[in-house]
Amino acid sequence: MDGAKGAAVIVVGGGVSGLSAAWWLAREGVDVLVVEKGIVGWEASGRNGGGCSHHFSPLFHEEQRLWPMMDELLGYPTEWQAERIRVAMDAAQMELYAQAVENARGQGFVVEVLDTAQLRDAVPLVSPAAVGGYHYRFGGHANPHRTAQAYAWALQDHGGRLMQHTTVRGLTMAGGRVSGVSTDRGELGCDVVVLAAGLQTTRLARGIGLEVPTVAARAEILVTEPLPPMPLGGVDGNGLYGRQTLRGNLAYGGGPHEWIDTPSAAPANSSTPLARNIARRLAELFPAAAHARVLRSWAGTVENTPDGRPVIDRPAHPGNAVIVTLSSVGFGLSPATGHAVRDLVLDGACGFADLSTLSLARFAELEPDWREIQGWVPAPRPDAAAGA
């Protein structure tokens, strides 16, 4: 590969957002290059719960339209499984989840209420203490690792290029527009840049005069040894989200999060207190899990915007940069995100959804101390408390 050549479009970041965007562009014959500091899917995109049901997003309909077709469109398996069930452990949870049900129904999607007998049929591992649930006849889940790899292979099948182990240090400007990216392997020129660098999007955008407010949080997932496969692998509840893998493992996460300083290049490790909390709630949801060994646990980081919603925008200045930062909803939305970025790059506007609620301009009046106001600040380090 001639790394110094650059491309018409350079995508910074080989997570699912950047890869999907590049795949959409490559399918159109666009000369596109993804520059990734590690390997594809190494950060949040390879560490998430795999859920694909974002009915509060303007991209929801496109998310739901695309997922059932993704294996065929990409030409590689994502392990997509349709539909989800949300379990309520008490009446208050049943009522709380009803708000989400209203939202989905209001958009034309079907949700069935499950009584305890129906719930037990649908979710054989569920606790006898569960009071009921909701069966979403939409949404679903996929395997994050397979999906990231599928995008990467598919984009290359269409002539797109991928440079892994290449860090973008900053963007170069000429005449008020982005002219390229500066990497640890040299300069790469481009006509348009797509910034989809997860936690580093804020820093890289600042270099071209754009303020993208984000703060990093660490979230964790743990995986048990296989349990008997349930009819439907996408079961949430008790404050947890996740999936049962095709092999039967329970892969679950879900609060509490830990606010952290914008981290270095190293991915976050899992921490015992958060993992223990997930394990306890998992055993409450699925009592059989209490007797299953934990095979793995890991942490991932999420870049949260002040309202927790993504930014997908092509700001007027510099005019040739697209900002893509997905907070905690980027895996499921990735097929639709890529489509939206394709539209922003080639047409200047998204042709299938109103992205105004995802624009950067909504943060123009943000208080400088918004992180403190939200309480989204890292806990003091133990060594700092000790005066070390």
Ligand X SMILES: Cc1cc2nc3c(=O)[nH]c(=O)nc-3n(C[C@H](O)[C@H](O)[C@H](O)COP(=O)(O)OP(=O)(O)OC[C@H]3O[C@@H](n4cnc5c(N)ncnc54)[C@H](O)[C@@H]3O)c2cc1C
Q: In the bound complex, what is the minimum distance in angstroms from residue 165's beta carbon to ligand X?
A: 9
Distance CA 70, CA 38 (A): 25
**Pairing state of beta strands 81-88 and 168-174?**
unpaired
**Contact at 8 Å (CB) between 322 and 195?**
yes
Would you say the C-alpha torsion 54, 144, 17, 307 has a positive or negative sign? positive
Q: Which amino acid is at 264?
A: S
Question: For residues 132 and 140, which CB has a smaller minimum distance to ligand X in the complex?
Answer: 140
Give the x/- contact pattern for ligand X in 196-235, rule: CB under 6 A: xxx-x------------------x-x--------------
Q: Pick the binder of ligand X from 138, 151, 241, 252 (CB under 6 A).
A: 241
Binding residue (CB under 6 A) for ligand X from 139, 140, 160, 300: 300
Of the two residues 50 and 132, which places its CB atom closer to ligand X in the complex?
A: 50
Adjacent-strand bridge partners of 242:
252
Q: Is 84 in the site for ligand X (CB under 6 A)?
A: no
Rg from Cα positions in the chain: 21
d(CA 9, CA 204): 16
Kindly tell me which of 12 and 111 has the beta carbon lying closer to ligand X.
12
DSSP single-letter state for residue 15? S
Q: Does 36 bind ligand X (CB under 6 A)?
A: yes
**Least distance (Å) from ligand X to the CB of residue 304?**
10
Supply the minimum distance, in Å, between the C-beta of residue 210 and ligand X: 15
**Residue number, nearest CB to ligand X:** 15
C-beta separation of 252 from 141 below 8 A: no
- Residue 58 found at the interface with ligand X (CB under 6 A): no
State both tokens at 80.
Answer: 């997509």
Q: Does 48 interact with ligand X (rule: CB under 6 A)?
A: yes
CB of 13 to ligand X, least distance (A): 3
Q: Applying CB under 6 A, which of residues 9, 11, 25, 44 lies at the interface with ligand X?
A: 44
Using alpha carbons, select from 68, 250, 57, 50 the residue that is nearest to residue 141.
50
Residue from 11, 23, 27, 42 in contact with ligand X (CB under 6 A): 42
329 binds ligand X (CB under 6 A): yes
Cβ-contact 125, 167 below 8 angstroms:
no
Tell me the C-alpha distance between 302 and 198, whole Å: 8
Q: Under the criterion CB under 6 A, does residue 245 sit at the interface with ligand X? A: no
Helix (H, G, I), strand (E, B) or coil at 253: strand
Closer to ligand X at the Cβ: 127 or 327?
327
Q: In the complex with ligand X, which residue's Cβ is closer, 287 or 307? A: 307
Among 202, 214, 305, 328, binds ligand X (CB under 6 A): 328
Name, in order, each residue with C-beta under 8 angstroms of 126's C-beta and a sequence gap of 6 or more. Answer: 87, 119, 120, 133, 235, 237, 285, 286
13 scored as a contact of ligand X (CB under 6 A): yes
- Name which position in 155, 297, 331, 343 contacts ligand X (CB under 6 A): 331
Provide the mask over 250-289, with x wherever binding to ligand X is found by CB under 6 A and - wherever it is not.
---x------------------------------------
Query: Which of 18, 180, 233, 315 is in the footprint of ligand X by CB under 6 A?
Result: 18
Q: How far apart are CA 139 and CA 190, in angstroms?
A: 36
How many residues bind ligand X (CB under 6 A)? The answer is: 39
Tokens encoding 75: 């030409």
**Rounded-to-integer distance, Cα 231 and Cα 115, Å:** 17
Which of residues 295 and 373 has its CB atom nearest to ligand X in the complex? 295
Three-state DSSP at 37 gives coil
* Site residues (vs ligand X, CB under 6 A): 12-18, 35-38, 42-45, 47-51, 167-168, 196-198, 200, 219, 221, 241, 253, 300-302, 326, 328-332
